[in-house]
Amino acid sequence: MDCPIKTQQNKESLLDYSAGRLDRPQAGMVEEHVETCAECARFLAEQRAVWEALGAWEPAEISTDFNRRLYRKIDQAKPASWLNRLLWRPLVPLAAACLLIAASVALHTPTATAIPENSQAHAESVEPEQVERTLDDLQMLRELALTPSSEAKTPQPM
């Protein structure tokens, strides 16, 4: 086998050997060569050191709420239906609540200025009596007024 260090392509086979990606015959050829080639042996030792150093780097564990956060983002990304869009508008439920309260207050509160149904009839039945009474009163006042003046016009005895 030619020295792998001599060409770029052969260097790749050394990398593949380090990574354990060569099949058995190819790996055997590299091993055989390395026994007699100090340069390749050093290359392999260094590459193996890099490989092991990288292997020692273990990342941290993933957050336990990873999926929950993801599914929340997915839900937020979903286009809302027209009904949802309508219901999710913040002022609409507020307005609906106000309308309900106003309607219930209007239905259950008695009106202070309301006139009873029979009040008009009662007023109509009372009115002639009042008029009649008023006329009587006027007649009586007139008679009272006439009485003193007639006495005043009576000649005084000398």
Partner 1 sequence: MPQWVKEDMGASLALDCDAELMLQVKDGDTASFALLLDKYRVSLTHFLYRMVQDQPVAEELSQEVFLRVYKSRETYEPTAKFATWLYRIATHLALNWLRDGKNERGQARLDEVVEDGPSRELPDHAPSVEQRMVSRVKVDEVRRAVAALPAKQRAAVLMHKYEEMEYSQIAKILSCSESAVKSLLFRAYETLRVRLAHMA
- Interface with partner 1 by CB under 8 A: which residues? 8, 11-12, 15, 19-24, 45-63, 66-67, 69-70, 73-74, 77
Three-state secondary structure of the chain: CCCHHHCHHHHHHHHHHHCCCCCHHHHHHHHHHHCCCHHHHHHHHHHHHHHHHHHCCCCCCCCCCHHHHHHHHHHHHCCCCHHHHHHHCCHHHHHHHHHHHHHHHHHHCCCCCCCCCCHHHHHHHHHHHHHHHHHHHHHHHHHHHHHHHHHHCCCCCC
Nearest to partner 1 of 73, 108 (CB atom): 73
Nearest to partner 1 of 60, 158 (CB atom): 60
| CB 51, min distance to partner 1, A | 7
Nearest to partner 1 of 69, 89 (CB atom): 69
| CB 31, min distance to partner 1, A | 15
| CB 103, min distance to partner 1, A | 42
| CB 28, min distance to partner 1, A | 12
Nearest to partner 1 of 72, 122 (CB atom): 72
